[in-house]
Amino acid sequence: MMPATSPARDLLAAAETTLIAAAGGVAFVYLGIPAGLVSGSVLAVAIAALAGRPMRVSPWLARGCFVMIGILLGAIVTPETLHGMATWPLSVALLVVATLAMIVSTTSYLRFVHGWDWVSAFLGASPGAMAQVLSLSAEFKADLRGIAIVQVMRVLLVTIGLPGGLALFGLAAGSVIAVPAPPGGSSPIELLILVAVSTATAVALTWLRFPGGLLFGSMLGSAILHGTGWVHAVLPWWLGSAAVIVLGAVAGSRFANTSFRILLDYLAAALGSFAVAISMAAIFAIAVMTFLPFRPADVIIAFAPGSQDQMMLLALALYLDPVYVGAHHLTRWLVVTFSIAIFAKSVTREKSALRESKRWKRPGQGAFDD
């Protein structure tokens, strides 16, 4: 009989985890559930972990997927969305304030109402940056189970609830505004340049010991290349989908040894934090609709605390202005990304200072331990 820690058993567990995650993600996509790949893989692996199955993901595989996800996220930045940010400065500025208000209020809610630690509360409160949040949650040993539930529930509630609400009030009608096709096209050379530059920046930030360096570094390289229009290539859909599924498996595997009572507490935190975030977004959206000449449906989708890819799909499906919506969600993504980066850096600095303080001795006993 093989020991519990044998390489063969670990390999079988990793293969089983990957298959379960893929099955859950594909099933959710087939059923048309929003953010189906990540939410389906998280849920499927979480159920298996709760049932006692050994769910594991290779650290090397996870790191490779963080780089790929960073490349995907960087492709969000395009010359069109950057131009849109400059076209509607007041609306974009209010979006920045709304994003910061959502982060502060939701973080405070999770910290003081549900007793989460500050790191987990901040990461759970960050709107529209699920990939960064889940990867950093794993790196900082935060409450990944709770953060995953809060983030997935927020995306599901926003993406499912908003179309119905807009249709109920007759706000989702209008003509489609054409978005200019990007010049040029994808090519193997562009893809090679994209992967090489993004990987190099990921390695550089990791070497500099930047928190989440693999994700932020690859995202930075990809964003520069796409935002300047130097490349238009994106990762093949199957490769990007595989990376998202692995990320969901990482989050879902953390649900092992979780009681039903804890799950209920997490769901309560998810619903409560969503109510706080959507209320804060509504306040600023109402201000924009009142004082600025934008269609209500465009503003509602632009200010909703959902993931950018899902909000862009909603904008197109509901015949909204994809450039206006895209510019605002790009702005919020940038705000959240920089906020997370600054927060992660401060957390790392505090942990380093704490380690140094523990090594300090009282005067007369020697300066430092060996």
Q: Please report where in the chains the tokens 């908003």 appear, as a residue.
A: 162
Digit-coded pLDDT (tens) for 122-135 = 988 888 667 677 77
Domain boundaries, the chain: 55-138+146-233+259-355
240 contact partners, CB below 8 Å, separation of at least 6: 68, 69, 72, 234
- pLDDT, residue 211, reads 60
Would you say 349 and 110 are in contact if contact means Cβ atoms under 8 Å apart?
no
- pLDDT, residue 314, reads 63
The tokens describing 173, both together, are: 């009608």
What pTM was computed for the model?
0.64
Residue 319 to residue 175: CA distance in whole angstroms: 6
- pLDDT, residue 218, reads 87
The tokens describing 194, both together, are: 């994209």
- pLDDT, residue 329, reads 80
Cα–Cα separations (whole angstroms), residue 196 to 189, 191, 203: 10, 8, 11
Burial 216-241 (b: 16+ CB within 10 A, else e): bbbbbbbbbbbbeeebbbbbeeeebb
The tokens describing 69, both together, are: 């996800």
Residue 39 to residue 134: CA distance in whole angstroms: 12
- pLDDT, residue 356, reads 55
Residue 240 to residue 22: CA distance in whole angstroms: 13
- pLDDT, residue 180, reads 40
- pLDDT surpasses 50 at 362: no
Digit-coded pLDDT (tens) for 198-238 = 999 999 988 887 766 787 788 888 888 988 888 888 888 88
Most confident residue range from 7-11, 103-107, 308-312, 338-342: 103-107
Digit-coded pLDDT (tens) for 12-52 = 888 899 999 999 989 988 887 655 777 788 888 888 988 88
Would you say 218 and 20 are in contact if contact means Cβ atoms under 8 Å apart?
no
DSSP labels, 204-262: HHHHTT-TTHHHHHHHHHHHHHHHTTS------HHHHHHHHHHHHHHHHGGGTT--HHH
Digit-coded pLDDT (tens) for 299-308 = 988 898 876 6
- pLDDT, residue 361, reads 47
Cα–Cα separations (whole angstroms), residue 200 to 204, 220, 336: 6, 10, 23
Secondary element (H or E) of residue 176: none
Digit-coded pLDDT (tens) for 67-84 = 888 888 777 777 877 777
- pLDDT, residue 186, reads 57
Digit-coded pLDDT (tens) for 240-293 = 888 888 887 887 787 777 778 888 888 899 999 999 999 999 999 999 999 988
Digit-coded pLDDT (tens) for 304-361 = 887 665 676 566 556 677 678 778 887 888 888 788 878 777 766 666 555 555 554 4
- pLDDT, residue 144, reads 80
- pLDDT, residue 309, reads 58
